C-alpha cells in the first residue's frame, strides 16, 4: 500500500437516537475547544506563548472533572479538539496568515467532531460505518468511493463527522496507492463546460 493521502466524503443516514448522540458530541467538542481556550487565556492572557500538549491535556482533565457530562461522549473526539487547538496556536505564532484561535460560536461554527482510527482497524463494511460510542451508521456514496473504502489496501487515519444544517456527513482521511498516471501524448484537447444546458463537458474531439 502506498502513502497517497486523500479525503472521501459520504452522506450519513442516522437513526433518531444517533441524531441525538451526534448533536451531543458536536456540542461537547465545541465546549472542549472553548474551555481549553478559556483556561489558556486565564493563565497567559494575550501573550504569545504556545501552550504545550501537556498543558492543554492538563486543562482538559481539569474541566472534565468540572463538567462530568463530557465523560459521556466519545473520548478521542475531545482529544482531537485539544490537538486541533494546539496546532492552531502553532500556526498563528508561526505565520501572520493564520489568525489566533477564537472561541467557537454555536451559530457560526460548523458542528463537527473527529475520531481517530486504531491501527489496522477497518471502520467500513459495505455501506456501514462503525463509530465508537455511536455504533453502526449507514451511508450513501458513489460506487467508486464505496469500492475504495472497502478495499483491503485502504488505510484509515481518522474520520471527521459534520453537520451542514440539513444532513450529516463523514469525511474519511485515508491512505491508498497513488492513482494511475496516464501517459503524456503531447496533444491538447479543448473543453467547454458551457456549451449546453444539460451540464455535459464537451471536448474539441466531440
Give residue-wise pLDDT tens across range 91-126: 988 877 888 899 999 888 999 999 999 887 899 999
For a pLDDT cut of 90, what percent of the chain falls above it? 61
In a domain, 75, yes or no: yes
Residue 159: CB partners within 8 Å, gap ≥ 6?
A: 114, 115, 117, 123, 129, 131, 170, 171, 172, 173
C-alpha span between 195 and 135 (Å, rounded) = 47
In a domain, 6, yes or no: no
Residue 33 — very low, low, confident or very high, per pLDDT cuts 50/70/90?
Answer: very high
The structural domain count of the chain equals: 1
Pick the more confident residue, 71 or 206: 71
In a domain, 167, yes or no: no
C-alpha span between 50 and 129 (Å, rounded) = 36
In a domain, 74, yes or no: yes
**Structural domain for 44, as ranges:** 20-94
What stretches of the chain adopt beta strand conformation (E)?
Answer: 4-13, 112-116, 124-125, 128-131, 135-140, 155-163, 168-176, 191-192, 202-203
Phi, psi dihedral angles at 62 (to 5 degrees): -65, -50
In a domain, 68, yes or no: yes
In a domain, 150, yes or no: no
C-alpha span between 17 and 37 (Å, rounded) = 31
In a domain, 3, yes or no: no
pLDDT at residue 198 greater than cutoff 60: no
* pLDDT score, position 159: 96
The pTM of this model reads: 0.81
In a domain, 71, yes or no: yes
Amino acid at each position: 500500500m502506498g502513502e497517497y493521502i486523500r479525503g472521501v466524503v459520504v452522506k450519513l443516514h442516522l437513526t433518531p437516537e444517533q441524531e441525538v448522540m451526534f448533536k451531543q458530541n458536536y456540542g461537547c467538542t465545541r465546549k472542549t475547544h472553548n474551555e481549553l481556550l478559556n483556561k489558556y487565556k486565564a493563565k497567559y492572557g494575550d501573550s504569545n506563548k504556545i501552550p504545550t500538549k501537556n498543558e492543554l491535556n492538563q486543562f482538559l482533565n481539569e474541566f472534565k472533572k468540572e463538567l462530568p457530562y463530557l465523560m459521556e461522549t466519545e473520548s478521542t473526539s475531545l482529544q482531537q479538539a485539544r490537538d486541533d487547538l494546539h496546532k492552531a496556536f502553532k500556526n498563528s505564532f508561526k505565520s501572520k496568515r493564520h489568525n489566533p484561535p477564537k472561541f467557537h460560536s454555536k451559530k457560526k461554527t460548523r458542528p463537527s467532531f473527529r475520531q481517530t482510527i486504531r491501527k489496522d482497524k477497518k471502520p467500513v463494511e459495505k455501506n456501514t460505518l462503525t463509530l465508537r460510542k455511536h455504533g453502526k451508521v449507514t451511508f450513501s456514496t458513489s460506487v467508486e468511493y464505496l469500492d475504495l473504502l472497502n478495499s483491503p489496501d485502504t488505510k484509515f487515519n481518522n474520520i471527521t463527522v459534520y453537520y451542514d444544517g440539513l444532513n450529516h456527513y463523514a469525511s474519511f482521511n485515508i491512505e491508498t496507492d497513488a492513482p494511475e498516471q496516464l501517459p503524456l501524448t503531447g496533444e491538447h484537447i479543448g473543453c467547454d463546460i458551457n456549451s449546453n444546458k444539460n451540464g455535459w463537458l464537451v471536448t474539441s474531439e466531440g
